Amino acid sequence: MDRDGHLYTLGIGENYHLQDFLGAHEALEEAQTGYYFRVWAPNAENVKIIGDFTGWYDFPLPLKRHESGVWEGHSPYAQAGQIYKVLVQRQGGQVLEKIDPFARYLENRPSTGAILQKAVTRKWKDGLWMGRRKRFGFQERPVNIYEVHAGSWKTDESGNPYTFERLREELIPYLVEMNYTHVEFLPLMAHPLGMSWGYQLMGYFAFEHSYGTPEAFKDFVEACHLHNIGVIVDWVPGHFTQNDDALAYYDGTPTFEYQDPDRARNVGWGALNFDLGKNQVQSFLISSILYWIEAFHIDGIRVDAVTNMLYRDFDQGPWTPNKYGDNRNLEGIAFLKKMTQVVKSYHPNVMLIAEESSSTIPITKPVDEGGLGFDYKWNMGWMNDILRFYEEDPIHRKNDFDLVTFSFMYCFKENYILPFSHDEVVHGKKSMMHKMWGDRYNQFAGLRNLYAYQIFHPGKKLLFMGSEFGQFLEWKSHEQLEWQNLEDPLNQKMQFFTSQLNRFYKDHKALWQIDDSYDGIDIIDADNKEETVLTFARQSKKGELLLGIFNMTPVERRNYTVGVPLAGIYEEVINTELEIYGGTWTKGNSPQKIVKTKWKDYDQTISFTLPALGASIWKVKRRLK
Domain ranges of the chain: 3-116, 141-507, 518-623
Contact 566, 623 (CB under 8 A): yes
What per-residue confidence (pLDDT) applies to 29? 78
Contact 232, 301 (CB under 8 A): yes
Confidence class for position 599, pLDDT limits 50, 70, 90: very high
Mean pLDDT of the 179-184 span: 98
Strands 568-575 and 557-563, how do they pair? unpaired
Confidence class for position 1, pLDDT limits 50, 70, 90: confident
pLDDT at 411 over 80: yes
In whole angstroms, what is the distance from residue 11 CA to residue 22 CA? 13
What per-residue confidence (pLDDT) applies to 274? 98
Alpha helices by DSSP H, listed for 200-271, are 214-226, 261-264
Mean pLDDT of the 359-372 span: 96
Q: Is 355 a catalytic residue?
A: yes
Mean pLDDT of the 8-13 span: 94
In whole numbers, what is the pLDDT of the chain averaged over residues?
Answer: 96
pLDDT at 322 over 80: yes
Nearest to 315 by CA among 356, 264, 381, 363: 264
pLDDT at 316 over 90: no
Q: Do domains 3-116 and 141-507 have the same CATH topology?
A: no
In whole angstroms, what is the distance from residue 273 CA to residue 238 CA? 6
Contact 615, 543 (CB under 8 A): no
CATH no. of 3-116: 2.60.40.10
Q: What is the architecture, at CATH level 2, of domain 141-507?
A: Alpha-Beta Barrel (3.20)
What per-residue confidence (pLDDT) applies to 345? 98
What per-residue confidence (pLDDT) applies to 352? 98
Nearest to 430 by CA among 401, 395, 399, 466: 466
pTM summary value: 0.97
* Residue 447 neighbours by CB under 8 Å, 6+ apart: 432, 433, 436, 470, 494
pLDDT at 286 over 90: yes
Q: Is 262 a catalytic residue?
A: no
Superfamily of domain 518-623: Golgi alpha-mannosidase II (2.60.40.1180)
Confidence class for position 28, pLDDT limits 50, 70, 90: confident
How far, rounded to the nearest angstrom, does the alpha carbon of residue 282 sit from its chain's CA centroid? 22
Q: One of 304, 331, 375, 482 is an active-site residue; which one? A: 304
Strands 376-378 and 416-420, how do they pair? parallel
Confidence class for position 32, pLDDT limits 50, 70, 90: confident
In whole angstroms, what is the distance from residue 386 CA to residue 435 CA? 11
| β-sheet with 239-241: strand ranges across | 239-241, 271-273, 265-266
pLDDT at 30 over 80: no
Using CA atoms, how far residue 477 sits from 151, 186, 482, in Å, is 7, 11, 12
Confidence class for position 10, pLDDT limits 50, 70, 90: very high
What per-residue confidence (pLDDT) applies to 625? 80
Alpha helices by DSSP H, listed for 315-461, are 330-346, 380-391, 394-397, 402-405, 432-435, 440-456
Q: One of 234, 275, 355, 577 is an active-site residue; which one? A: 355
